[in-house]
Structure 1
Amino acid sequence: MKVKKFALPLVIALLVLVIGLIQGCGKQQATQQAPQPQVKDLILATTTSTQDSGLLDVLKPVFEQKTGYNLKIISVGSGAALEMGKKGEADVLLVHSPADEKALVDSGVGINYQLVMHNDFIIVGPASDPAAIKGSTAVEAFKKIADKKAIFVSRDDKSGTNTKELSIWKAAGITPEGAWYQKSGTGMGATLNITNEKGGYTLSDRATYLAQKNNFKLEILSEGDKSLLNIYHVMQVNPEKFSKVNKDGAKAFVDFMINPDTQKTIGEFKKETYGQSLFIPDAGKNEADLGK
């Protein structure tokens, strides 16, 4: 009985010690967790192709879980996204209109400008191919479409895709106009559906086309030109110009997009579904080497 009376306090003391150690470990783990951001809402202005392809549906929850930010995505054309940056209406931009992007960076509004990924543009149209553009270069295809006055649907929304389209018309020496040249004023997914309904042609980014090709009967008729390279960059909006910009959140998103784990996710996105990558990850690469 004496042994039992002596052992009981010892057991209790050991239990108290163990509980204290467990609580201490819990507190230590809590202190090791990343601090929650003071301003949680983060506004991302981006092109419709990153949204329509489904890529941001995959990346958004991962970013939010890792950082604690609430990512609010505004999906518009690159031109409208860059305009939001100019006005300080977004914290971070993910766009694909390099010439316009560089102008924003040169103005000091865009900072921490980073290469993220690329894919390419394609010219799609009906299987009947009334303008006989299949296998043509982009410029040749546009010339044939104009000569035949075959229906061409332009996004006409100052997006990166629209900017690329206009540059091809310029290279072809053509000012597109007339009933055959129709303007949708919508994003890529909607423009593809309109093109399908009208039996016409349009310029699309490959990712949106592949992600939505079951919704229409359009076929890829011209592809592969280096001029059709479609490059995406991410950048912060300069907090020194706009005091309300979420500086820390924007930097966290830029860091996230160029992180090796995210880059791996981008490279594998829907590859098994379509047998090809919708986007090629490019962080850390020399932009001049892309497409070679």
Structure 2
Amino acid sequence: MVRQWVRAAVTVVALTTGSAQAADPFIVVQSTTSTQNSGLFDAILPWFEAESGIDVRIVAVGTGQAIRNARNGDGDVLLVHAKPAEEAFVAEGWGVSRQDVMYNDFVIVGPKGDPAGVRGGSDAVAALTAIAQTGAIFVSRGDDSGTHKAELRQWGQAGVDVAQASGGWYRETGSGMGATLNVAAGMGAYTLTDRATWLAFGNAHGLEVLVEGDPGLFNQYGVILVNPEKHPGVRAEAGQRFIDWLVGQDGQAAIAGYKLDGEQLFFPNAR
């Protein structure tokens, strides 16, 4: 009798849970700290959720970790900013296809004293070369994020082996952009940041934008549906609906409309 009651209770719970899930659909989006820390998702997701009835749950980590999570099936949609890695994710079969969503840029921020003398420049490679030559402290995320990948590309073009400088003038936090900016502010150091996180950052403490406008600091974001053939648990229909909204007229307008102190943080460019 007890076993029958337990089985009946389990059945009721399962049916109730299934009904709740059907009535309250959701998707998991693996994304970056920049989209979360900038406040973008808080601004635009209510529009989609109200229209679709689909709850969007964000996992905000570095791009490298987000891609690994998606490859493991821990998400339905991937929204990150490292195009070569995104294209490889699709080419390897983990994603269905990739679409451009929006862009902004990276900037180099540093102390007002500017010991490397890079203020006002628009050449990131020249600025990083000067920082390395003067031994001024530079703080890196060091976390395989999209920002970290972009930074390493610039060091490579400058011909600077930062691995040899690690622990000296080159410091790695292994953390997100907000935490890295806090470290840079505390040390009076330089760092490379996406502009959106910088504009949302409230703890500058003597840091300012010193180098900007380099075409090499262009920062493109892309969105990918995780391949349900690789991971049958992927909520493909709901995930694709979110992607279609994001790259469609309403999503692109929501992105364009998000501003802080009158300044636009992301620029929609879905084709």
Distance 1:198 1:214 in 2: 13
Q: Structure 1, unaligned stretches of length 5 or more? A: 1-35, 285-292
The 8 Å contact of residues 37 and 68 in structure 1, kept in 2 or not, is answered as no
Q: Structure 2, unaligned stretches of length 5 or more? A: 1-20
The 8 Å contact of residues 54 and 211 in structure 1, kept in 2 or not, is answered as yes
Cα deviation, residue 41, structure 1? 2.5
Match of 2:169?
Answer: 180
1:171 equivalenced with 2:171 (yes/no): no
Matched-pair identity in %: 45
Match of 2:8?
Answer: none
1:127 equivalenced with 2:88 (yes/no): no
**One-letter amino acid of the structure 2 residue matched with residue 113 of structure 1:** R
Any idea what the Cα deviations from partners look like across 1:234-283, whole Å, max 9, x if unmatched?
11000011011111111011011112122112112116x14x32111101
**One-letter amino acid of the structure 1 residue matched with residue 136 of structure 2:** A
Match of 1:280?
Answer: 267
Where 1:234 maps in the other structure, the secondary structure is strand
Distance 1:250 1:38 in 2: 16
Q: 85-94 or 45-54: which moved more?
A: 85-94
Higher relative contact order (CA closer than 8 Å, sequence separation 6+): 2
Match of 2:55?
Answer: 70
Distance 1:223 1:249 in 2: 38
The 8 Å contact of residues 182 and 203 in structure 2, kept in 1 or not, is answered as no
Q: 205-214 or 144-153: which moved more?
A: 205-214
- Identify the match of residue 94 of structure 1 among 55, 63, 79: 79
Match of 1:192?
Answer: 181
TM-score normalized by the length of structure 1: 0.81
Trace 1:1-292 onto structure 2 (pairs within 5 A): 40-136=25-121, 137-176=123-162, 177-178=165-166, 179-213=168-202, 215-270=204-259, 273-274=261-262, 276-284=263-271
Any idea what the Cα deviations from partners look like across 1:74-120, whole Å, max 9, x if unmatched?
00001111111111111101100011001001111111311100000
Distance 2:198 2:153 in 1: 21
Cα deviation, residue 216, structure 1? 3.4
Distance 1:269 1:206 in 2: 14
The 8 Å contact of residues 95 and 233 in structure 1, kept in 2 or not, is answered as yes
Distance 1:246 1:162 in 2: 30
TM-score normalized by the length of structure 2: 0.88
Where 2:104 maps in the other structure, the secondary structure is strand
Max radius of gyration: which structure?
Answer: 1
**One-letter amino acid of the structure 2 residue matched with residue 279 of structure 1:** F
Please list every run of at least 4 consecutive aligned residues from structure 1 whose deviation after the TM superposition is greater than 4 angstroms.
36-39
Count of residue pairs the alignment pairs up? 247
Distance 2:209 2:105 in 1: 12
Any idea what the Cα deviations from partners look like across 1:113-157, whole Å, max 9, x if unmatched?
111000000000011101101133100111111111111000011
The 8 Å contact of residues 26 and 56 in structure 2, kept in 1 or not, is answered as yes
CA gap 1:253/1:37 in 2 versus in 1, 3 angstroms:
farther
Distance 2:182 2:228 in 1: 39
Cα deviation, residue 217, structure 1? 2.8
